[in-house]
Amino acid sequence: MSLIDKLIVWSLPFVPKPIVGYFSKTYIAGPNLEDAVRVIKDLNAKGMMATMDLLGEESREVEKAYQAAEEYVNILKTIHDERINSNVSVKPTQMGLVIDKEMCYQHIRRIVETAKKYDNFVRVDMEDRHCTTDTIKIYLRLKEEFENYVGTVIQAYLRRTSDDINNLIKHKANLRLCKGIYVEPREAAYKDMAIINSNYKYNLEKLLASGCYVGIATHDEKLVWHALSIIEKYHLPPEQYEFQMLLGVDEKLRQIILNAGHRLRVYVPYGQEWYAYSTRRLKENPKMAGYVFKQIFHLS
Ligand code: FDA
């Protein structure tokens, strides 16, 4: 962790909430569903697709998990009614994974069932390493029943990822491939960025070459370049992949990818819990604090 990143994280509790709110506006649509709809309408008008994420801490109470699932059902109905181009991204711990795995499965199942009703799609986000096995199991179970209405995420920094991908390829999985955002121990995850990037490239090629649908989630231009070279090498049709980026990050790169004729989806988080979410995530992964700081003050 660099000294600047440490300083930013250390000073977070002293920054007044409205100021955190002002800066987080770039990355979070707002506290309400209408905020997300407004932001997505704007993205759609600019030729981008979206995935909506309801911000929330891990649910430790049954009622909280239930309410989060209800909200996702409502989100899918709203997406349909508002005719916006967006799917949803769901976190298993918000659906109660740490309380009761079967309950979590049933909540996500209900969301995927609703997505199918509206001909939409659910991406099951990947959280820290304690959730990986369960998340993949939930995904494969749902895929058996709902086929292409559901997908999940794989993190290039995990040492287990190549094995997971070899298995998921057999199921023709629909995967978002990202580097991984949680701080993991060296036994579980590569720490060297060059290895993480090599693992990303290696597994991306395996997935695309085997016909899996991939959400290429990165703002790293070297990886974007590599993805484009694979797409060209295998003459992949645009229906087999999409690029994905977080709201507010590197909008120039976003436009470059779009202008080159590729599909691009923006991850749009919203919710009342934006403050807890923003500060927790920044503390969890101080590297993010550095990115945000640099972006706000145009240092890179
Ligand atoms: P890298 O970290 O090298 O960043 C490249 C450049 O992008 C940086 O130099 C910086 O300029 C900019 N940048 C990156 N992130 C930024 C940020 N937050 N704010 C400002 N600038 C930033 N992870 C996970 O573990 N589970 C998941 O389910 C998901 N889901 C997901 C969805 C989507 C659509 C995206 C884009 C990312 C995720 N992630 C994720 C996060 C992912 O794992 C990873 O941590 C970030 O995307 C950063 O990695 P990059 O590939 O962008 O490279």
pLDDT tens digit string along 87-114? 999 999 999 999 999 999 999 999 999 9
61 compared with 5, residue with greater pLDDT: 61
Among residues 53, 125, 164, 250, the one annotated as catalytic is 125
| Mean confidence (pLDDT) of the chain | 92
Q: What is the pLDDT of residue 300?
A: 43
Q: What are phi and psi of 7, to 5 degrees?
A: -65, -45
Q: Are residues 132 and 156 in the same domain?
A: yes
Q: Are residues 234 and 300 in the same domain?
A: no
Q: Is 288 in the pocket of ligand 1 (CB under 6 A)?
A: yes
Q: What is the pLDDT of residue 281?
A: 66
Q: What is the pLDDT of residue 57?
A: 74
The domain in which residue 300 lies consists of 1-28+275-300
> Mean pLDDT over residues 224-248, rounded?
97
Q: Are residues 297 and 213 in the same domain?
A: no
Nearest CA to ligand 1 atom 18: 288
60 is catalytic: no
Q: Which of 291, 292, 294, 295 to mutate to test the pocket of ligand 1 (most atoms within 8 A of CB)?
A: 291
> Mean pLDDT over residues 190-206, rounded?
98
Specify the residue for token string 């407004």.
38
Q: Is 50 in the pocket of ligand 1 (CB under 6 A)?
A: no
Among residues 109, 123, 129, 176, the one annotated as catalytic is 176
272 compared with 224, residue with greater pLDDT: 224
Q: Is 180 in the pocket of ligand 1 (CB under 6 A)?
A: yes
Q: Are residues 24 and 150 in the same domain?
A: no
Q: Does 228 score more than 60 pLDDT?
A: yes
Task: Report CA(295)–ligand 1 centroid distance (Å).
Answer: 13
Element (H, E) at 135: helix 132-146
Instruction: Give, in order, the Cα–Cα distances in Å from 250 to each of 2, 25, 47, 256, 271.
Output: 22, 15, 16, 10, 22
128 compared with 26, residue with greater pLDDT: 128
Q: Does 45 score more than 90 pLDDT?
A: yes
Pull the structure tokens for residue 117.
């009703």
Q: Are residues 14 and 105 in the same domain?
A: no
Q: Are residues 191 and 210 in the same domain?
A: yes
Q: Are residues 63 and 114 in the same domain?
A: yes
Nearest CA to ligand 1 atom 25: 180
Q: What is the pLDDT of residue 195?
A: 98
